[in-house]
Structure 1
C-alpha cells in the first residue's frame, strides 16, 4: 500500500520531498548558489554530482573521444556514442505504440508519456496537471514567476493538502469531482 511520505515542503514553491536532503538539493534552484568551485577552471556547480563529472573531464586526454567522421571531440564515451548516431541516422529506441524512433532512451521515455492520459504532477499554485517534471518546472518559471508575492501567500498552509490519489500518483483524476474556479485560476491559465 502506497502512502504519502513526502513531508518536506519547499517554502518558496510548495514542492514536497520525501527526504530532507532532496529538499536541500532543490533549494539551490531558488538561490542559484554554486558552492562547488573547480580548481582547474572558472566553472562552479550547485550540486556535487555535476561538479565531480566536470572535474573528471579535466583528467581525460583531449583527443580520447574524437569522432572519426567529423573530428568533434567529446568528454565522455557516451557523448561520442550519442553523437555518432547523428552521422549514421540510427535511431535504435523505438516506440511500441507508434512509428516514432529516438537516438537516446530519454527521448523515448519523454515520448511515451504522450501515449497516456496520466498526469501525475500538479502545479502547487494553480493545480494545472502535468505529465513531466520538466514541463511543471517550466510552467512555474514562466507562468508564475511574476507572482512571487501571491505564491508566498498561498504556500504552504493555504493550499489544500494533497489527496491520497495525488500522492500515490493515480492515473486519472477522481470521478465526480468538480473544480471551483477562482479569479487566480483564471488569471494563471
Structure 2
C-alpha cells in the first residue's frame, strides 16, 4: 500500500474525521495524566539495538531517522481510554535513556517526549499506531501490524499537521529470533539460519489472552514484544533488536518515579522558598492593612445579622452599602449573600450531612451533587475520556475544557496571565497586585 501523499486516515479505519482516535493521535486536545502503578496499568519497555557496521553512522546523519528515533527510546506506557473496538494510550519516551542509570546520573538524558498511541485488533491480529510531534507542524508516526505468529510489518513516516497528509514514509518488517540465535545474541537471518521453531503455540496463547480480556491490553503487548527480533537493513546486513517489557524492577521504578515528578511539576509548578516567603509577606501586609477597619466591619456585620433576624425592623437601605466580604474581598449583589458566604466559606458551617457517608456540606445543592457523584452512579455525569464522575453537568463541561482541552479562560487585566479557574485568578491578583486593592 502506498502511503506517501495520502491522508492520515489511510492508516486505520478508526481515524474518521473528528473521531476520538483521530483527535487523540493528532494531539487535538491535551490531557495531563499522573501515572499510578498497579497490575498491568503501566508497562516499562526498552529496546537495545545491535547495528551492522555503517548503519549507526548512516542513521545519525539522517534527519528522518533522528525524528523517528523517539519510538525506540526507553518508555513508560499506559492505556488511558478503552472503547469496545480500540484503546487509546500514551507513553513517556526517555530521550537519551533513563535520567539515572545504576544510581548515577545519565548525562545523555534529554528530557521526556510524550507519545500517543491507538491499539486495536484486525482479523485477530494486533495493530498499534504511535504518533508524536517532532517539530512545529510535523508529526511522526509508526504503525506496527502483527503479520503472523513470527513476523510484524511496520511503516514509519511523517505527517504535515496542517494538511494531515503523509509526506514521507518507509516500510519494513521484523522477524522474531529462534531460541538458538537469541541465546547467541546474533541476527536470526533467514538467509543463513536453518533452525526450525514453531511459534504457533505462542500465538495461540496470545489469542487466548485476547479472548479473556476482551481486547488488547498491556499484558498482550508484553507477550507480543518480549524477546529478540531481526530486521533487514539492505546490503549492510540485518539488525537485531532486544525488547524487554517489565512491570517491576529497578528500571521500572526509576522510570515511574521520574515520570511522576515530571508530571506533578507540570500540573503544580514548583516554587522556590523565596517566592513562597514573598507571597506570604504580601498576603500578610494586605490583611494587616485591613486591621484598622476589621472591628468596625464586624460590628456592622453583627448589626446586619440582627436586622435580618428581625424583618420588621429591617432597614434595607442601610445594608446596601456593604456587599463586600472584608476577609477575602469577594463582592456580592445582595447583603444576605455576604452573610451566607461568610458562614459557609470562613465559618466552615456544614449543616447538610450525607446519610450514606460521613461527609457534610454547607449547601443542600452540594450535598445532592455529592450523592449523585459518589453514591448513585447512574445519575452522575461521566467524562468519556477519563471516566471521572460529576454530580452536575456544568462541572463535567468545565472539567473537559480545563483538563482535556487545557483552556484558560480567566485572564489577568494587569499582567495578562491566564488561569483555568476564576478563584485562581482572584488569588493571583490578591498576591501579586495588592496595590490595586489598596488604591481602590
TM-score, normalised on structure 1? 0.42
TM-score, normalised on structure 2? 0.20
Higher strand share: 2
Between Structure 1 and Structure 2, whose CA radius of gyration is higher? 2
Whose RCO is larger (CA < 8 A, sep 6+)?
A: 1
